């Protein structure tokens, strides 16, 4: 009798219009694995893109696999399309977007009967590969588990890699050739990390004839090819929406945001290409999601929204800046039957917004709240962070004060419409990320973060129609460890896996001290675990940005003018 999981699988496959089924024989067989549940994975446009790009290659057949649902118990991990075990593939490729998914990688390998460390696997088992934004930010905590990591954007990496990958040839020889010849290919076993007596990295050196630095690669031209959903499924957080990536990267240079740096230079897609994608989406669903780190910076956004309205489509946006909210955008938001709009002030005080280079004035935030409610979107969600560098008690008080001011603007608009909505405040703990100006900063202690969250919650506790949700600082702590760690953090990851995810027990029994990675301020000249990746960004530029942050000085956005600008170094 078919299990519940089998039924779900076959229903999903039936629902996934355009699922690619190819012949298995004579092809390079790739299992594309997302270390989370199906619904999380299928809401990830990057994952869908890699799936379709791999299957677009004639000599490759790609099937998907996910973290098993809880009802699957100890059943082995199998691919969604043909139900094959991961050991039957030539290559198992992980798509990694979030550090907190790393523990799931080891769970998946165990359920697939694959030894976790690459040194123990041997070449008769599939090649273990990983890519994704978390990987090209800092792959070092994963170095022991993967044979090869791809650093950069998939469009620029998949074809060069899989055109050369031949499962019949000697694996080490092939990896060496690719590490030498294909930018973005990083083979951890070809490098050695050396440490000083104080625990800092003293050197990171090749042990084979490979480049000392690995270049991150990006797709220089996204104007001619679109990134869009290949599978529309109701079983995701986007609920049947057809997703279109309208832009990549963000010009604003918020100093906490890794996407604003590692996706440089920011790129946008032209209107005619986006219109075509919208027409394709309209043939499949009435819901279109416009994706990008800075959707409101798209020069043709108004025309694209008008196109959506003329087709009677419901539009949604992955991000909108408060200073871009105007009547046209509100009309587009309403077309998506949106009940809750999101604004991200990030912090309460003017001073802190300069420190993080948010580039938003208080009037922009208040005016956006007022316009959204007046325009008929009844609820607001406000994103704030706690634990930012230089943050003081007064800055936390200013979060409370700003929410109260927003509530005031919100009330006047709500009254005028005769309907009272709700404000949800989302508080997130700041995690300093690699390749940002805050990469040298220490993260706040968990107790300090909890104290700050408590303050905001009690300051807003009695304010009617305002709810406060906060993340769990302990998970932000783990995220910081995995985002900022070197190869030794891989040992912690393995021990935590052996301890069934019990991190406190792992920390107690391990010789690796997590505080060293999380709560230590780095000096300017310290060799950082991710310094071997050449993102094109000058480390001196990031340091200057760090200094400007400490001085509370704002920096102008990236001019998006690759031919003439050399400010951060990426376009040189
Ligand atoms: S070099 Fe200039 S245009 Fe290029 S990404 Fe940097 S700031 Fe932007």
| SS3 sequence of 359-395 | CCCHHHHHHHHHHHHHCCCCEEEEEEEECCCCCCHHH
Pocket lining for ligand 1, CB < 6 angstroms:
264-265, 558-562, 565-568, 570-571
- Taking only the tens place, the pLDDT of each residue in 440-474 is 999 999 999 999 999 999 999 999 999 999 999 99
Tokens of 425: 């405040």
> Which one of 261, 540, 565 would you pick to mutate in the ligand 1 pocket, going by the greatest count of ligand atoms within 8 A of its CB?
565
Q: Would you say the C-alpha torsion 178, 179, 184, 185 has a positive or negative sign?
A: positive
- Rounded Cα–Cα distance for residues 270 and 189 (Å): 42
Which pLDDT belongs to residue 10?
62
Q: How confident is the model over 315-365, as pLDDT tens digits?
A: 888 888 999 998 888 888 887 777 888 899 999 999 999 999 999 999 999
Number of helices (H) and strands (E) in the chain: give both, helices first.
21, 19
pLDDT score for 15: 58
Using N-to-C axis directions, what is the helix angle for 154-164 and 45-56, rounded to 10°? 30
Beta-carbon contacts of 206 under 8 Å, excluding residues fewer than 6 positions away, are 190, 191, 192, 212
pLDDT tens digits, one per residue of 212-250: 999 999 998 898 889 999 887 766 666 678 999 999 999
Among 216, 561, 568, 572, residue to substitute to test ligand 1 (most atoms within 8 Å of Cβ): 568
pLDDT at position 20 is 56
Q: pLDDT band at 9, cuts 50/70/90?
A: low
pLDDT at residue 513 tops 60 = yes
Q: What local confidence, expressed as pLDDT, does residue 320 receive?
A: 85
* 199, 516 Cβ separation under 8 angstroms: yes
- Please give the distance, rounded to the nearest whole angstrom, from the Cα atom of residue 264 to the centre of ligand 1: 7
Place of tokens 């890519």: 131
Which atom from ligand 1 is nearest to the alpha carbon of 266? 5
**175 has a pLDDT exceeding 50:** yes
Provide the 10 A C-beta neighbour count for residue 102: 27
* Joined tokens for residue 387: 């634990």
Q: How confident is the model at residue 8 (pLDDT cuts 50, 70, 90)?
A: low
User: H or E element: which one contains 466?
Assistant: strand 466-470
CA atoms within 13 A on the CB side of 180: 10
Q: What is the mean pLDDT of the segment spanning 477-496?
A: 98
Residues 269-328: pLDDT tens digits?
999 999 999 999 999 999 999 999 989 899 999 899 999 989 999 888 888 899 999 888
Are the beta carbons of 468 and 454 closer than 8 angstroms?
A: no
d(CA 102, CA 96): 8
pLDDT at 413: 76
Distance between CA atoms of residues 199 and 464, nearest Å: 50
Q: Which two tokens stand for residue 532?
A: 């071997």
Task: Indicate the helix (H) or strand (E) that contains 91.
Answer: strand 91-95
Mean residue pLDDT across the chain: 92
CA of 136 to the centre of ligand 1 (A): 19
Rounded to 10°, the helix 301-310/271-282 angle is 30
**Confidence tier at 14 by pLDDT (50, 70, 90):** low
Let me know: does 89 contact 191? Beta carbons within 8 Å.
no
The pLDDT value recorded for residue 232 is 78
Q: What is the pLDDT, as a whole number, of residue 70?
A: 73
Listed residue (531, 386, 372) closest to 449, CA to CA? 386
Q: How far away, in angstroms, is 223 Cα from ligand 1 center?
A: 18
* Banded pLDDT at 11 (limits 50, 70, 90): low
Dihedral sign for Cα atoms in the order 94, 120, 99, 253: negative
pLDDT of residue 19: 56
Query: Which residues sit opposite 150 in a β-bridge?
Result: 185
**This prediction's pTM:** 0.93
* pLDDT tens-digit series, residues 394-445: 999 999 999 999 998 888 777 777 777 899 999 999 999 999 999 999 999 9
More confident residue, 419 or 196: 196
């Amino acid at each position: 009798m078919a299990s519940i999981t089998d039924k779900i699988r076959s229903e999903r496959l039936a629902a996934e219009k355009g699922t690619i089924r190819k012949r298995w024989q004579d092809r390079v067989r790739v299992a594309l694995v997302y270390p989370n549940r199906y619904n999380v994975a299928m809401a990830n446009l990057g994952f869908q893109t890699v799936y379709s790009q791999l299957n677009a290659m004639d000599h490759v057949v790609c099937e998907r696999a996910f973290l098993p649902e809880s009802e699957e118990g100890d059943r082995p991990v199998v691919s969604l399309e043909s139900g094959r075990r991961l050991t039957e593939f030539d290559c198992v490729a992980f798509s990694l977007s979030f550090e907190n998914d790393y523990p799931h990688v080891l769970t998946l390998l165990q359920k697939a009967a694959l030894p976790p460390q690459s040194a123990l696997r041997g070449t008769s088992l599939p090649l273990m590969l990983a890519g994704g934004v978390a990987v090209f930010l800092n792959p070092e905590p994963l170095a022991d588990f993967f044979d090869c990591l791809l650093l950069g954007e998939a469009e620029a990496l998949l074809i060069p890699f899989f055109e050369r990958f031949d499962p019949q040839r000697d694996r080490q020889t092939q990896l060496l050739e690719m590490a030498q010849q294909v930018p973005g290919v990083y083979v951890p076993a070809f490098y050695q990390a050396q440490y000083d007596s104080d625990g800092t990295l003293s050197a990171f050196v090749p042990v084979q004839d490979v480049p000392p630095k690995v270049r991150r690669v990006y797709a220089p031209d996204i104007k001619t090819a679109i990134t869009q959903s290949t599978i529309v499924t109701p079983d995701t957080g986007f609920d049947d929406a057809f997703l279109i990536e309208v832009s990549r990267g963000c010009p604003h240079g918020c100093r906490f945001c890794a996407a604003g740096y590692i996706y440089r230079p920011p790129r946008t897609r032209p209107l005619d290409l986006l219109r075509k994608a919208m027409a394709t989406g309209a043939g499949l669903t009435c819901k279109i999601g416009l994706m990008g780190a800075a959707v409101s910076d798209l020069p043709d956004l108004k025309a694209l929204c008008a196109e959506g309205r003329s087709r009677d489509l419901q539009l949604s946006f992955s991000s909108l800046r408060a200073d871009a909210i105007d009547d046209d955008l509100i009309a587009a938001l309403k077309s998506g039957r949106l009940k809750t709009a999101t604004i991200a002030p990030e912090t309460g005080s003017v001073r802190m917004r300069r420190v993080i280079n948010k580039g938003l004035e208080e009037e922009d935030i208040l005016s956006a709240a007022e316009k959204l409610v007046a325009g008929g979107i009844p609820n607001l969600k406000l994103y704030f962070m706690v634990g930012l560098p230089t943050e003081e008690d007064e800055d936390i008080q200013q979060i409370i004060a700003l929410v109260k001011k927003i509530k005031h603007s919100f009330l006047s608009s709500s009254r005028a419409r005769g309907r009272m909505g709700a404000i949800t405040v989302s508080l997130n703990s700041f995690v300093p990320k690699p390749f940002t100006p805050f990469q040298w900063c220490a993260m706040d202690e968990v107790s300090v973060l909890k104290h700050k969250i408590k303050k905001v919650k009690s300051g807003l506790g009695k304010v009617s129609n305002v709810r406060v949700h906060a993340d769990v600082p302990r998970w932000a702590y783990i995220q910081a460890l995995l985002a900022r760690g070197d190869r030794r953090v891989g040992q912690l990851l393995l021990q935590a896996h052996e301890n069934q995810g019990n991190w406190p027990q792992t920390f107690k029994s391990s010789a690796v001290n997590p505080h060293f990675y999380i709560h230590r301020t780095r000096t300017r000249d310290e060799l950082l675990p991710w310094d071997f990746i050449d993102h094109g960004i000058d480390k001196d530029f990031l340091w200057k940005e760090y200094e400007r942050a400490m001085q509370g000085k704002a920096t102008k956005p990236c001019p998006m003018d690759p031919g003439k600008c050399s400010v951060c170094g990426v376009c040189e």
